[in-house]
Every structure is written in C-alpha cells, then in structure tokens.
Amino acid sequence: AGDAAAGKGKSAVCSACHGADGIALVPIYPNLKGQNEAYLEGSLKAYREGQRAGGNAAIMSPMAKNLSDQDIADLAAYYASLK
Amino acid sequence: AGDAAAGKGKSAVCSACHGADGIALVPIYPNLKGQNEAYLEGSLKAYREGQRAGGNAAIMSPMAKNLSDQDIADLAAYYASLK
C-alpha cells in the first residue's frame, strides 16, 4: 500500500504542474486533490508503460518512466489524502 | 464552448460509474467533480481517438467512441461545474 507521507516527499516535481495542494496550475492538467488512489495508480502505470498517447501523455510518460511501483503507490496515496 | 446544462442531459451513462455527483462509485474510476474542463476534453478525445490503452481505456474508449466534439465539450463543462 502507498504511504502518503512518503508520497509527499516524492511530489516536488508533480506539484510544479498539479499544485502543492493538488489543484492544477493550468487547466489542461488535472486536479489530483482527493482523487481516487486506485485510479491514480492505474493512470501513472499506464503512462509509465507508454500505454498512453494524446492528452498530456507527451509530458506524463517521461515523468512516470522512472517511478517504481512503491513511488506510484506513495504518490497516489498522497494526492488521494488531500482534502 | 461546452454547455453544462446540455452536458448534464448527456451524462446519464457516465454517472453509472462516475456518480450523479461526479464522485466515482468504484475507486478505480476517477472522480470528475470539479475537474478541469480542458483536461476532461483532452482525456475524452484521447479515449475517442483510441490513443489510450491500460488503465480504464478498455471501458472508456467504447464510451467515448461516438461522442461529438460538442458532446465532449458539454460533458466536460458539466463535470467541471460540479462543486
């Protein structure tokens, strides 16, 4: 399972676009605040595996490329925990 | 631009998984309540064009396949408007 505190520590890069509070700075990026943990994991893994094109894939695939399963679980737990 | 009221009228199918209030019924599906309109349009179009695999693509691509640009704009406006 993901560790939200560990996820916070790994979210510096993410917050540049998704906001420190999980509210995206630019409307073409999604808000992540309070999003479903399992959904976030599925999306990050799809980006990591290069299963997505279109939308924001050109930005997100490189971002997710080097994330471990634990990184993904922690980040998902962190953003899901934001209320 | 999208028409949120028209989007509400087109959201019956969507609400089966994403909830009448935009809070997903199942954690592997994303909450759409208050999500960014431009992001939602981008994602729906990526699903429609078959640019996504993995994650929920197997469910979402057929859902999006027959949506017009206006349908997508209206649905995005509707879910973005939910507070």
Residues of A with CB under 8 A from a CB of B: 24, 27-31, 34-39, 42-43, 45-46, 49, 51-57
Q: What is the pLDDT of residue B73?
A: 98
Task: In whole angstroms, give the CA distance from residue A59 to residue A55.
Answer: 9
In order of their start, the domains of chain B are 4-81 (1.10.760.10)
Computed over every residue of chain B, the mean pLDDT equals 96
Query: What pLDDT does B36 receive?
Result: 98
Subunit contact B45:A51, Cβ cutoff 8 A: no
pLDDT in tens, B29-59: 999 999 999 999 999 999 999 999 989 999 9
Q: How far is CA A44 from the centre of its chain?
A: 6
- Whole-complex ipTM: 0.92
Rounded-to-integer distance, Cα B63 and Cα B47, Å: 8
